[in-house]
Amino acid sequence: MLWKDKYELGVLLIDTQHKELFKRVEAFLQTLRSSASWDEKVQKVNETLEFMKSYVVEHFHDEEVYQKSIGYPNYEEHKKIHKEMVDYVLQVSDEYERSGFNEQLMQQFAGKLLAWLINHVASEDQRIASYAIEKGVAGDE
């Protein structure tokens, strides 16, 4: 598991979603990199991709609602980063469908997705927690 407890923000909903995202992205990579043939795994890959597309949107939304609730000053900037990621995911997904489920495309995408997730959760999302602590609005649980 690539998840680390130090990634926690101390907000139950957000932390739960982050853990779920890590779990799903790792499972996605495992499926992609298993020794089974592409024909055997393409269906599972597609299902996972569909799940992540909606889950990512849901998570970003919930995280933005939390940011607003604590008056996070980098809300707009953070929202823009989220939107760019959603656009990227949808663009790759479109390309993938148009290509007739090209394996190479998904392999590259999965690696990028994992790198993005780790980097974003470990840095950008952590800034929300730092602000909450600094302002004394941390710990809504």
Judged by CB under 5 A, the number of residues near Fe ion is: 2
Dihedral angle sign, alpha carbons of residues 48, 123, 141, 83: negative
The CA-CA-CA angle for residues 60, 61, 64, to 5°, reads 85
Q: Which amino acid is at 24?
A: R
* Interface mask toward Fe ion for 12-51; x: CB under 5 A: ----------------------------------------
Task: State the DSSP code for 74.
Answer: T
Within the chain, strands assigned E span none
Exposure string over 104-116, b if 16+ CB within 10 A, otherwise e: eebeebbeebbee
Nearer to Fe ion, 93 or 125 (CB): 125
Give 23 or 33: the residue with its C-beta nearer to Fe ion: 23
Which residue's beta carbon is nearest to the bound Fe ion? 125
Residue 125 binds Fe ion, judged by CB under 5 A: yes
Nearer to Fe ion, 8 or 103 (CB): 8
Binding to Fe ion, residues 48-77 (CB under 5 A): 63
Nearer to Fe ion, 45 or 89 (CB): 89
Would you tell me which residues interact with Fe ion (CB under 5 A)?
A: 63, 125
